[in-house]
Amino acid sequence: MPTRLESAALLIGETFSFDAAPMGGGDLSEIWHLRFETGREVVVKLGGQAAAEAAMLRAMGATGAPVPEVLAAQGDLLVLSFIPAVRLSEAGWAALGKALAILHGADQPPRYGWSEDYAFGPLPIVNGWTPDWRHFWRDYRLEPCLTFLPRGIAARVRHIATTLERFLPQTPRPSLLHGDLWSGNFLLTRAERSETKAVLIDPASLIGDASADFAMLTLFSSPPEIFWRSYGLLPEGYEQAIDVYRLWPALVHYRLFGHPYLGMIESLLDRLEV
């Protein structure tokens, strides 16, 4: 019986002769860098829903946004092209802004949601389609979190979920979103004598308001001005919507990682309730 990494090699027509090294990141999965005797290099991700992630990466790539090539997907095993990374820099932030502008700018059908369910580790993320973005954010993002929150926090989140007309557009321009855009979910790469490029990885995609993609990014990072200039005009209603969009990843982090994220949730609710 081949090991998991040997199975990945078989899926892409390679032999078992390779060097394997674990890669950083992957709180909810294992990630390995394989280098074969031929010199070919790939990334293997173990854990999660490989076919669903592969479909998201292909959808993002179809917009022209930079993503790794999907080489194979079977069960919870995903094989991707290897991308040599460079450190985050001003040029990297600018490249990320350009990549997101491409992703968000591609035309999409006039509906919101996604065709498949997926999960963040033990937390299922249920999806569906709706013509009303507020209904999607209420029914598929905020309300499913009520079951695992402390009673008082759940009541406050429920109030936000039932009054989204105060914060969110009903029918924003439909954009393909990365869906889980923190600093660990994009890579910067640069071929010799070429400009820096941002490559999007580990998506949790959906069709929705482009502002939602900035929620995770600004929850844990402070992108410099060059990022915003590179992206261009922000979606209409960004400022009044962004804290509602930040609330959902904060709730997810509370479910996955516990009490340390409760203060973040309370701070967001305090701002929303003013």
Q: How many distinct structural domains can be found in the chain?
A: 2
Q: Do 161 and 124 sit in the same domain of this protein?
A: yes
Q: Do 15 and 130 sit in the same domain of this protein?
A: no
Is the pLDDT assigned to residue 25 strictly greater than 70?
no
Q: What is the mean pLDDT of the chain?
A: 95
- 180 has catalytic annotation: yes
Q: Do 59 and 113 sit in the same domain of this protein?
A: no
pLDDT recorded at residue 274: 78
pLDDT band at 1 (very low <50, low <70, confident <90, very high): low
The one catalytic residue in 107, 139, 180, 213 is 180
Pairing of strands 123-125, 206-208: unpaired
Gap between the Cα atoms of 135 and 172, Å rounded: 12
pLDDT recorded at residue 118: 94
Q: Do 66 and 95 sit in the same domain of this protein?
A: no
Q: Do 133 and 251 sit in the same domain of this protein?
A: yes
Q: Do 67 and 145 sit in the same domain of this protein?
A: no
Q: Which domain holds residue 39?
A: 4-81
Q: Domain ends where: 81, 107, 137?
A: 81
Q: Do 22 and 133 sit in the same domain of this protein?
A: no
pLDDT digits (tens, 9 = 90+) for 182-234: 999 999 998 767 889 999 999 999 999 999 999 999 999 999 999 999 999 99
CATH for 176: 3.90.1200.10
Count CB atoms within 10 A of the CB of residue 152: 9
Q: Domain ends where: 58, 81, 104?
A: 81
Q: Do 155 and 225 sit in the same domain of this protein?
A: yes
Q: Do 94 and 72 sit in the same domain of this protein?
A: no
Q: Do 117 and 243 sit in the same domain of this protein?
A: yes
Q: Domain ends where: 45, 61, 81?
A: 81
Q: Do 258 and 191 sit in the same domain of this protein?
A: yes
Count CB atoms within 10 A of the CB of residue 237: 14
**pTM to 2 decimals?**
0.95
Q: Do 200 and 261 sit in the same domain of this protein?
A: yes
DSSP 118-141: EEETTEEE---EES-HHHHIIIII
Gap between the Cα atoms of 208 and 179, Å rounded: 9
pLDDT digits (tens, 9 = 90+) for 113-126: 999 999 998 999 99
